Amino acid sequence: MKNLKYCSPSTLIIIFIHINILVTSCLTRAEEFDTVIKLPRSGLRRTRSRWVLSVGDYGAEGDGVHNDTEAFLEAWNVACSLPGFINVVFPYGKTFLVHPVDIGGPCRSKITLRISGTIVAPPDPAMWHGLNQRKWLYFHGVNHLTVDGGGRINGMGHEWWDRSCKTNSTNPCHPAPTALTFHRCKDLKVRNLMLLNSQQMHMSFTNCMRVVASRLKVLAPAFSPNTDGIHISATKGVEIKDSVIKTGDDCISIVRNSSRIWIRNISCGPGHGISIGSLGKSKKWEKVQNVIIDGAYLYNTDNGLRIKTWQGGSGFASKITFQNVLMENVSNPIIIDQYYCDSPHSCRNETSAVRVENISFIDIQGTSATDEAIKFACSDASPCEGLYLENIFLASCFGGNTSSFCWQAHGSARGFLYPPTCFPSSDDDFIRQNVLLESNDANPAIHSV
């Protein structure tokens, strides 16, 4: 430091600024290190630029019998309190019993929850006594979260299904948990996981922004009630891709106030297909807009591509495109139903309705399990407007012809169209359509495309 007397004043100022920055940085690092070394059973390890916390280091047994919930929460709270990039790990080869759990943010860190083993729920619904019966693994207010790892999340839902009023109408109707809920999360990634046998819905995004879900397997028996694969509600900016969904309800359902949804490369079936809605129940105002489903294979589903709204609601479903879809043995392949009524009692006729407009069905091919392959049952008070069909071929699984039904539906069509639609098309398209129909009449037992 004695040589500083030969430095100019400006040089001295710069040197002292750098010294001050260096000292501050060292103190900060010392404080962080001090925090780490005081953590009980921390098990903190560093790999490159990430801290790694295993739930086993916080007391998790991983034998599928002992309750590992507190160990998970302890590891999460430590990860949430630290800065930087943190991995919280459920190790491969172990089964972790986790009871209903509330996992909150915001966090200082960007957390990757790496599920390499299996997480299972308590099989007995009594474990939810006094708790919210709609939730099992509930994440809320967490930003920049990634859930990954190649493992399994098993809802152990059989006892819930047996008690459902959808299974037995003499049972009282009670809510059941969604296995994996993300609420008010931003910049979320969920990938490389298998979700099994959820109590009710498997995965739900509510009030989230910027979500990517990819390379998922969602599996439950066809008889399991209300076990939607992926449910999107009041969420903006969602991409779902490269996934297989086999459940007892909608493979993907998109409901109230969701927008900018992109779904591609999805295998769906069994289940109830891909649904927009239901919308407008209990006279609510709801909207869904800017949705693209591009690339899907649907087989043995109760519905194909569906928009469903309740009478008496308001709002709109708009700017929705279904394209590049292959169907096999699908009931109601293309359906818009503005008279939806999922109730043991008949629904009253109402004069208001959720508007359905600017909906496109493009390059939809396959086989229908019902004679009515296209159904547009639109509202008298608010007819469907701007419907568009292009290159549709939906033959019967059982031979014979398929048909279209249109009520208060307005739009246009282009390209090959079978069954014939109620919309006008160009002269060239009309000629090509009749050639296609004659070919089908010559060989009515068409079972594949």
Amino acid at 198: S
Q: Out of 144, 183, 231, 272, which one is annotated catalytic?
A: 272
Distance (Å, whole) CA 282 – CA 293: 28
Residue 272 appears among annotated catalytic residues: yes
State how far the alpha carbon of 409 is from the alpha carbons of 2, 168, 321, in Å: 89, 37, 17
Q: Which two tokens stand for residue 264?
A: 């591609």
Report which DSSP code applies to 36.
H
Q: Which candidate, 368, 366, 282, places its Cα nearest to that of 325?
A: 366
Strands (E), 300-446: 305-309, 314-330, 334-337, 355-368, 372-377, 384-396, 403-407, 409-418
Alpha helices in 101-188 (DSSP H): 158-162
Distance (Å, whole) CA 260 – CA 279: 17
In contact, 56 and 68? CB cutoff 8 Å: no
Distance (Å, whole) CA 70 – CA 249: 33
In contact, 331 and 369? CB cutoff 8 Å: yes
| CB-based contacts of 221, cutoff 8 Å, min separation 6 | 197, 248
Phi/psi of residue 16, each to 5°?
A: -65, -35
Return contacts of 248-254, CB within 8 angstroms, 24+ apart: 248/220, 248/221, 248/222, 248/223, 248/224, 249/201, 249/224, 249/225, 250/274, 250/275, 251/218, 251/298, 251/301, 252/228, 253/228, 253/277, 254/288, 254/291
Q: Which residues of 94-130 are buried (b: 16+ CB within 10 A; e: fewer)?
A: bbbbbbbbebebebebbbbbbbbbbbbbbbebeebee
Count of Cβ atoms closer than 10 Å to residue 220 Cβ: 29
Distance (Å, whole) CA 436 – CA 441: 9
Angle at 441 between CA 440 and CA 445, to 5 degrees: 65
Alpha helices in 108-185 (DSSP H): 158-162
| CB-based contacts of 239, cutoff 8 Å, min separation 6 | 211, 212, 213, 214, 262, 263, 264
Active site residues: 272
